[in-house]
Amino acid sequence: MPLQGFDCDSLQFFTPQCKNTLMTTSFPKGFRYKPEYFDKTAQIALLAAVTDAVRGPAPFFQGKMPRTGQPLSVVGSNFGPLGWVADITGYRYDKVHPKTGKPWPPLPDLLLNLWNDVTGYPAPPEACLINWYREGATMGMHVDADEHNLGAPIVSVSLGDPARFRIGGPKRGGKTHSLKVSSGDVVIMSGAARACYHGVDKIFHGQSTLVPQGGRINLTLRRVHKVDPRAL
């Protein structure tokens, strides 16, 4: 039986190791966790959409850190009207793939339905980052601040191997909390949590067979531009 989601800043859940042990962990306000939101059938469908995208107009590419040009440990792509790109000149959203010059594939309906279900936001997402964490890949603590609309939530979907997700506060350093996210799980960051540092510091490689070559696929939905109230 899937666990229920939690919408409060004090998450209570049964640990997978011991279903009779209730743990309480404090997370920033606006942090929501919905384990097993997507069942196996939906996970397979999402992975198929990713496969079609990266074998077609939007192959995986390896971003680089601004200024230093150091490659990121994850490879990525995008769905949606806009795609997030990282290279030596900086972070930005582009309408086309940096290698092929083609538009990004459209957002799958499963992801649009997810956004509508869990956010209540009055406009659709404009970008969905597709990050593939292979064995040993991590994502350092960071705040997503490349969007013009920082009031919109961020929605993250995990597929494949579990990962240890970590979130802190609005300033770098200080106390952090971690959560093991598994395939089909969804995390939503809105309100105060939207401005908090977060990252992925471990992939539990080989614990899922969903991704044929192993690793974790992370799908991150973002709204980039502010919403014109006249269009609502």
Kindly give, in sequence order, each residue whose CB lies less than 8 Å from that of residue 176, ignoring residues fewer than 6 positions away: 141, 166, 167, 168, 197
SS3 of the chain: CCCCCECCCEEEEEECCEEEEEEEEECCCCEEEECCCCCHHHHHHHHHHHHHHHHCCCCCECCECCCCCCECCCEEEEECCCEEEEECCEEEEECECCCCCCECCCCCHHHHHHHHHHHCCCCCCCEEEEEEECCCCCEEEECCCCCCCCCCCEEEEEEECCEEEEECCCCCCCCCEEEEECCCCEEEECHHHHHCCEEEEEECCCCCCCCCCCCEEEEEEECCCCCCHHHC
Residue 201: what pLDDT?
95
Looking at the predicted structure, is the pLDDT value of residue 10 above 50?
no
| Cα angle 49, 50, 51; round to 5 | 90
Q: CA 107, CA 80: separation in Å to the nearest integer?
A: 5
Looking at the predicted structure, is the pLDDT value of residue 41 above 70?
yes
Q: CA 187, CA 28: separation in Å to the nearest integer?
A: 13
Across 181-208, average pLDDT: 96
**% of the chain surpassing 70 pLDDT:** 88
Domains and CATH numbers, the chain: 28-57+109-224 (2.60.120.590)
Confidence of residue 13 (pLDDT cuts 50, 70, 90): very low
The pTM for the full model equals 0.88
Q: What is the pLDDT of residues 160-172, one digit of tens each?
A: 999 999 999 999 9
Kindly give, in sequence order, each residue whose CB lies less than 8 Å from that of residue 228, ignoring residues fewer than 6 positions away: none
Residue 17: what pLDDT?
41
Residue 25: what pLDDT?
65
Looking at the predicted structure, is the pLDDT value of residue 57 above 60?
yes
Q: What is the pLDDT of residues 196-215, one digit of tens each?
A: 999 999 999 999 999 999 99
Asked if residues 28 and 169 have their Cβ atoms less than 8 Å apart, the reply is: yes
Q: What is the pLDDT of residues 144-155, one digit of tens each?
A: 988 988 899 999
Q: CA 119, CA 30: separation in Å to the nearest integer?
A: 11
